């Protein structure tokens, strides 16, 4: 369903030498430079995510499929929380550790290599779990949701951003998106209080990012060229998917 860790390793290595891609993403999503993102979650949308996580001082956030760790570190900073970031790309994890050091947050942050479906963390070891724009890579998604529930304390919150197909038979969309029905899958994974909300307002920045990516001269910048490939694919089926925020309680 997903891409391999080696493919993501190459993607993150390319990112490290493409300041132009980061500049574009940060400008369009309204992110400050320390929030290194490889997703489509804007600065405004992050406020809603933080509210939904309901984290308090000293609590532990698991940022699952954390990439370079930007969102989890920002949330830890805002909430006085600790963050554990897990991603299967060792290159991304190394970049996340460097970001934590640079932000002076290394004493509250731990980054480790692990899978969406097998984090390597202990049961009931996190107060909240965040998955930003990555649940579609889990195979199958419900196994990753069960893993989220396993690592959460009872009453802990899971917050997921992503996309769902409006029509699961729409072949313009990748199979990994068509497998998602988070309301059903979160309930099947044993979560309570499941809510899946459409976020049409979040799509304004998303569309703007893909459209702007197509206007730049990518030259031989592999990150910009891969963004442009993705932009063409996403824009061709943009209206076939909905942007969602899913929340639930363990
Ligand atoms: C679109 S990026 C989002 C990264 C980060 N959440 C962010 O918002 O910046 C998707 C991430 O999922 C990770 N990923 C994909 N499949 C995974 C898997 N099976 N287990 C763990 N991480 C995975 C990738 O390495 C990548 O960092």
Q: What is the pLDDT of residues 194-216, one digit of tens each?
A: 999 999 999 999 999 999 999 99
Distance (angstroms) between ligand 1 centre and the Cα of 133 equals 8
Distance (angstroms) between ligand 1 centre and the Cα of 68 equals 9
Cβ contacts of 15 within 8 Å, gap of 6 or more: 21, 22, 38, 68, 95, 223
Distance (angstroms) between ligand 1 centre and the Cα of 65 equals 4
Q: CATH number for the domain including 206? A: 3.40.50.150
Closest ligand 1 atom to Cα of 63: 6
**Full residue range of the structural domain in which residue 69 is found:** 5-249
SS3 239: helix
Tens place of pLDDT per residue across the chain (250 aa):
678 999 999 999 999 999 999 999 999 999 999 999 999 999 999 999 999 999 999 999 999 999 999 999 999 999 999 999 999 999 999 999 999 999 999 999 999 999 999 999 999 999 999 999 999 999 999 999 999 999 999 999 999 999 999 999 999 999 999 999 999 999 999 999 999 999 999 999 999 999 999 999 999 999 999 999 999 999 999 999 999 999 999 9
How many Cβ atoms from other residues are within 10 Å of residue 132's Cβ? Answer: 25
Bond preceding residue 210 cis, omega within 30 of 0: no
- Return the bridge partners of 83, or none: 61, 109
Distance (angstroms) between ligand 1 centre and the Cα of 207 equals 21
Task: Say which residue the tokens 């990112």 belong to.
Answer: 15
pTM above 0.75, yes or no: yes
SS3 134: coil
Pocket of ligand 1 from Cβ distances under 6 Å:
2, 8, 37-39, 41, 65-67, 70-71, 87-89, 92, 115-116, 132-134, 137-138
Closest ligand 1 atom to Cα of 38: 9
- Which residue's alpha carbon is nearest to atom 27 within ligand 1? 67
- Domain count along the chain: 1
């Amino acid at each position: 369903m997903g891409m391999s860790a080696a493919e993501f390793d190459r993607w993150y290595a390319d990112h490290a030498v493409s300041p132009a891609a980061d500049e574009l993403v940060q400008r369009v999503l309204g992110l400050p430079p320390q929030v290194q993102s490889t997703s489509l979650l804007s600065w405004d949308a992050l406020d809603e995510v933080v509210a939904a996580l309901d984290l308090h001082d000293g609590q532990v956030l698991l940022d699952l499929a954390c990439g370079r760790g930007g969102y989890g570190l920002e949330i830890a900073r805002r909430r006085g929380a600790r963050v554990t970031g897990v991603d299967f790309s060792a290159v991304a994890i190394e970049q996340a550790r460097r970001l934590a050091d640079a932000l002076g947050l290394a004493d509250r942050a731990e980054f480790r290599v692990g899978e969406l479906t097998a984090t390597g963390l202990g049961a009931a070891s996190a107060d909240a779990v965040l998955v930003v724009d990555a649940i579609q890579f889990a195979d199958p998604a419900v196994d990753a949701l069960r893993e989220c529930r396993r690592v959460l304390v009872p009453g802990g919150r899971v917050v997921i951003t992503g996309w769902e197909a409006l029509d699961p038979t729409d072949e313009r969309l990748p199979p990994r998106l068509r497998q998602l029905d988070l309301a059903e899958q979160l309930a099947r994974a044993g979560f309570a209080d499941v809510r899946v909300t459409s976020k049409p307002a979040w799509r304004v920045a998303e569309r703007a990012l893909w459209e702007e990516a197509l206007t730049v001269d990518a030259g031989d910048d592999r990150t910009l060229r891969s963004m442009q490939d993705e932009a063409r694919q996403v824009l061709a089926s943009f209206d076939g998917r909905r942007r969602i925020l899913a929340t639930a309680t363990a």
